[in-house]
Structure formats: C-alpha cells, structure tokens
Amino acid sequence: MLYNKDVRISTDEIEALGVLYPSYRWWMVSGEIAPEIGQTSPEFDEANRNLANPNAG
C-alpha cells in the first residue's frame, strides 16, 4: 500500500470510514495500532493472516 502525504481527508470522511472499519479507527487517526484493544491496521491484519498460514506467501 502506498502512502501519499499530500492527500488530506476531512474529519467527516474519517468518521464515515470509522463506522465502516471500526477496528481501524485508531490507526486512521493516529497511525498507531493497539491490538490489545482490537485496534489494528490492514497491514497488521495481513501479517497475522500470513503468520497463521505459513504457506500464504
């Protein structure tokens, strides 16, 4: 996933995304994850899937 620092989104858009993806709210706002309270990121979730299935590539 590419990250473009020039792209800005509004707080309304963040709120809407938070409703769609509640486990990614903290990551979207702060860039940090807190798996102990269920706050992850897409990259974190993908890495965990790959660890659970070593043949996933």
Q: Is residue 22 part of a domain?
A: yes
pTM for this one? Answer: 0.71
Q: Is residue 30 part of a domain?
A: yes
Low-confidence ranges of the chain (pLDDT < 70): 1-3, 54-57
What is the domain range of residue 26?
A: 11-56
**Residue among 33, 28, 30 at smallest CA distance from 14:** 28
Q: Is residue 5 part of a domain?
A: no
At 57 the pLDDT is 54
- Residue partners of 39: CB distance under 8 A and separation at least 6: 23, 24, 25, 26, 27, 33
Query: Number of folded domains in the chain?
Result: 1
Q: Is residue 31 part of a domain?
A: yes
Placement of tokens 């309304």 in the chain:
12
**Residue among 51, 29, 53 at smallest CA distance from 41:** 29
